[in-house]
């Protein structure tokens, strides 16, 4: 099972772009990379998913290099409402997956 | 479309009491999961069910049992609650299969054991 490593916390000012990098050196061929956002007292919420190269949706971009051993979640122009914990998850199907402690993003006015 | 529904939302138990946490999904997903999250921690997998009729242990199964009642429902039972089981419990589901589409989580059950 792929283990992920992320920074424990990050601070950013409102309006800035935030990049959170996740390392997953032993990612398997059929694993996808998925990022989740969790607010206090809520379940994690799906943000974005990718397999390789770049994926973009209305809230974020996900950059995955060719070797797939890391990935970077990019949040454009963050606001105070983006303050949350962000989890990187590597999985393919119904594997036994445990979330790490995630990255606590604090957006500062 | 409710997604994943968990009941109850809050519960206080005395040590030694038993209870069952209920989870139901209406997305026709094959796989379902139970996680616990302790304060300031990530989510840890308790049990999961890859498909109807199967269950398997996760990282922290001790003190819990599960039942995959049908494709929609996956319950978690605490037979004899302990203070160490005070936590927030999340149920989740995925479509399963080759095209992994990510988890959908319920809103959680906050359990306190005194």
pLDDT of amino acid B110: 96
Alpha carbon of B96: minimum distance to chain A alpha carbons (Å): 5
* Local confidence band at B33 (pLDDT 50, 70, 90 cut-offs): very high
Q: Is the dihedral of CA A13, A18, A22, A23 positive or negative?
A: negative
Of the candidates A42, A94, A100, which has its C-beta nearest B94's C-beta?
A94
Of the candidates A36, A42, A96, which has its C-beta nearest B58's C-beta?
A96
pLDDT of amino acid B99: 60
Q: Which residue has the tokens 């997956």?
A: A97
pLDDT of amino acid B86: 97
pLDDT in tens, A18-77: 999 999 998 888 888 999 999 988 999 999 999 998 999 999 999 999 999 999 999 999
% of chain B at pLDDT higher than 70: 95
Six token digits for residue A97: 């997956």
In DSSP notation, B30-97 reads SEEEEEEE-TT--EEEEEEESSTT--EE-S--TTEEEEE-SSSBEEEEESS--GGG-EEEEEEEE--S
pLDDT in tens, B45-62: 999 998 899 999 998 999
pLDDT in tens, A79-90: 999 999 999 988
Six token digits for residue A29: 């061929």
């Amino acid at each position: 099972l792929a283990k992920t490593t992320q920074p424990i916390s990050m601070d950013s000012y409102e309006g800035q772009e935030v990049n959170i990098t996740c390392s997953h050196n032993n990612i398997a061929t059929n694993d996808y990379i998925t990022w989740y956002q969790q607010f206090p007292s809520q379940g994690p919420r799906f943000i974005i998913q990718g397999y390789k190269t770049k994926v973009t949706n209305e809230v974020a971009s996900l950059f995955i290099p060719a070797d797939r051993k890391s990935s970077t979640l990019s949040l454009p122009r963050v606001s105070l409402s983006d303050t949350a914990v962000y989890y990187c998850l590597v999985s393919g199907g119904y594997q036994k997956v445990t979330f790490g402690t995630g990255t606590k993003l604090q957006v500062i006015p | 479309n409710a997604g994943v529904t968990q009941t109850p939302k809050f519960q206080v138990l005395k040590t030694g009491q038993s209870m069952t946490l209920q989870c139901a999904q209406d997305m026709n997903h094959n796989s379902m999961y139970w996680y616990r999250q302790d304060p300031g921690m990530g989510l840890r997998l308790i049990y999961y069910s890859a498909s109807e009729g199967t269950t398997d242990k996760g990282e922290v199964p001790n003190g819990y049992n599960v039942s995959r009642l049908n494709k929609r429902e996956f319950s978690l039972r605490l037979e004899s609650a302990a203070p160490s089981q005070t936590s927030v419990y999340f149920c989740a589901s995925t479509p399963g299969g080759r095209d992994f589409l990510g988890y959908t989580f319920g809103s959680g059950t906050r359990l306190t054991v005194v």
